[in-house]
Amino acid sequence: MERFTDAIQSPFLAQGLAQFGADYYAVLGVPMDAPLTEIRKSYRNIARLLHPDRFGRDAEGKEEAEQILARLVNPAFEVLSADSQRRDYDKLVRAWAERVKDRPEAVPVYPQLALMQQALTLSELQTFYRQAIAQQGPGVYKDKTDLVRLVIANELSIFNLGYALVYCRVGSSEGFGAPQPAPPTPPKSQSPAPPPKSQSPAPIQPRSQQTEAKEVKGASFANSHFERGKMFFEHRRYREAVQSLKEAVRISPENATYHSYLGQAYLRQGLPGMAKAEFTQALVLDPTDSIARRELNKGSAAGAPPPKSGSDQSTTKGKATSKPKRTLPQEENKKEGIKGALEDLWKMMNKPL
C-alpha cells in the first residue's frame, strides 16, 4: 500500500486518509483549510476534554485519554501550528493524492464520499466538505466511552481522503491544506465597476434543482449518522445509538429503516412506549418493514402487562359483586330478629295476671 507518511497514529486511526499516513487534521477535528486560529481553538478544547480531572476515578479512561493526547493530539498540533511543518506535510499529502487520484483500485470506496466525488468545481467541493467537518468535528473526543475506537475522528479522516483526491482534480495547483487567500476588496472610495452590457448574468439554478441537491446532501449526512448508530447498537451502546439514530431521523424523517432501528434502540433501553411509536411510524412509511412488523407482532413494544384470563376476570368480578349481596340481607335479618325478640319480651312482661 502506497503511503505518504508512516502509520504513527495506529491503532487509533485506521480509516480514510489515516490508512495511508498520519491525518493530523482529523485528530484535531478541523478541516484541511482551517486557519491557525481555528487550529489553536480546537486544540485548547480537546486538551480540556482529555484532562485527567474529567475522568475522576475512571483509571482506564484516564490512561486512554493520556495516550491519545500524547500520541495523537500533541504531535498533530506541533505540526499544524508551525507554518513550515504544515506546508511540508500538505505537500506530502498533495503529492500522494496526485499519484493515486486516477487509480481507484488504490483507495477504498466509502459511500460518504459519493457526493464529494461528483463535485465539478472547487466551490462545490469546499461547500460539501466544510459542512461535513463542521457537523462532525466539534464532537471529537466528547464521548469518553469512545476513546479507543474514535469513531468521529475516523469519519473525519474519510472526508479528508475524499477532499485530498477531489481537490487534485478540481482545485488549483497552488496551496492544498492552507486556506485560500480572500479576493482583494476594492477601496471604499471606489465603487466596483459594472459588468459589461454584453455580458449576460449567470444563470440561476432552478429551485427544484436546488431543493434536490439539498435533499441529496441531507441524505448523505443522515446515512452517516445511521451507520454510526448501527455500529453503536451492535456494540450494545444503546444510549449513543439512540443519539445517532435520532439525528438520522431528524434529517430524513421519511426513512422507515431509521425509525425501525431507533425503535430497537429504545426497546433495549427499556422504553417500550417510545419504541412502539417508532415502529408504528416505520410501518406507516413502509408497510413491508420487517423489523417494525416483527417487534409489533411480538408485542415487545406494547409496554402493557399481559391481560388476565377470562375465567380469572369473571371469578374476581363475581367475588366483588356477590360479597355485598350475601352480607347485606344477613345484617338486615339479624336486626329484624333482635327487634322481634324485644317486642315479644315486652308483651310478656306487660301481660295481665
295 neighbors 271 (Cβ within 8 angstroms): no
What is the number of H-type helices and E-type strands within the chain? 14, 0
User: Taking CA 107 as the corner, what is the angle to CA 123 and CA 8, rounded to the nearest 5 degrees?
Assistant: 95
Which CATH code of 3.30.420.40, 1.10.760.10, 1.10.287.110, 1.10.3720.10 fits the domain covering 16-170?
1.10.287.110
End-to-end C-alpha distance for the chain, whole angstroms? 134
Please state which of the ranges 84-93, 156-165, 167-176, 215-224 shows the lowest mean pLDDT.
215-224
Nearest to 284 by CA among 253, 243, 250: 253
Q: Give the pLDDT score at 193.
A: 58
What are the phi and psi torsion angles at 298 (to 5°)? -70, -25
Length of the chain measured in residues = 353
Q: Give the pLDDT score at 318.
A: 45
Residue 90: alpha-carbon gap to chain centroid: 30
262 neighbors 230 (Cβ within 8 angstroms): no
| Calpha distance 140→143 (Å, rounded) | 8
Q: Is the pLDDT of residue 209 over 80?
A: no
Mean pLDDT of 317-324: 45
- Dihedral angle of Cα 48, 54, 58, 60, to the nearest 10 degrees: 0
* Cell numbers at 217, concatenated: 446532501
Mean pLDDT of 14-21: 90
Tell me: the pLDDT tens digits for 252-311? 889 999 999 999 998 998 888 888 888 999 999 999 999 989 988 887 555 444 444 444
Grade residue 320 by pLDDT with cuts at 50, 70 and 90.
very low
261 neighbors 229 (Cβ within 8 angstroms): yes
Domain with CATH 1.25.40.10 in the chain: 234-298
How does 194-210 read in b/e, with b if 16+ C-beta sit within 10 Å?
eeeeeeeeeeeeeeeee
Residue of higher predicted confidence among 268 and 10: 268
Tell me what the pLDDT averaged over the chain comes to: 78
119 neighbors 125 (Cβ within 8 angstroms): yes
| Calpha distance 113→166 (Å, rounded) | 10
Q: Give the pLDDT score at 132.
A: 87
238 neighbors 265 (Cβ within 8 angstroms): yes
Q: Is the pLDDT of residue 217 over 70?
A: no
* Cell numbers at 193, concatenated: 465597476
| Calpha distance 63→237 (Å, rounded) | 21
Query: Which positions ≥6 away from 4 have C-beta within 8 Å?
Result: 20, 21, 92, 93, 95, 96
Return the top range by mean pLDDT from 45-54, 121-130, 242-251.
Answer: 45-54
Q: Is the pLDDT of residue 53 over 50?
A: yes
Please state which of the ranges 96-100, 141-145, 196-200 shows the lowest mean pLDDT.
196-200
Mean pLDDT of 195-208: 55
CATH of region 234-298: 1.25.40.10
Domain with CATH 1.10.287.110 in the chain: 16-170
| Calpha distance 244→235 (Å, rounded) | 14
Phi-psi region of 344 (alpha: psi -120 to 50; beta: other; left: phi over 0): alpha
Please state which of the ranges 89-103, 178-192, 245-259 shows the lowest mean pLDDT.
178-192
Residue of higher predicted confidence among 98 and 321: 98
177 neighbors 51 (Cβ within 8 angstroms): no
Mean pLDDT of 43-61: 91
* Cell numbers at 13, concatenated: 486511526
pLDDT-above-90 percentage for the chain: 30
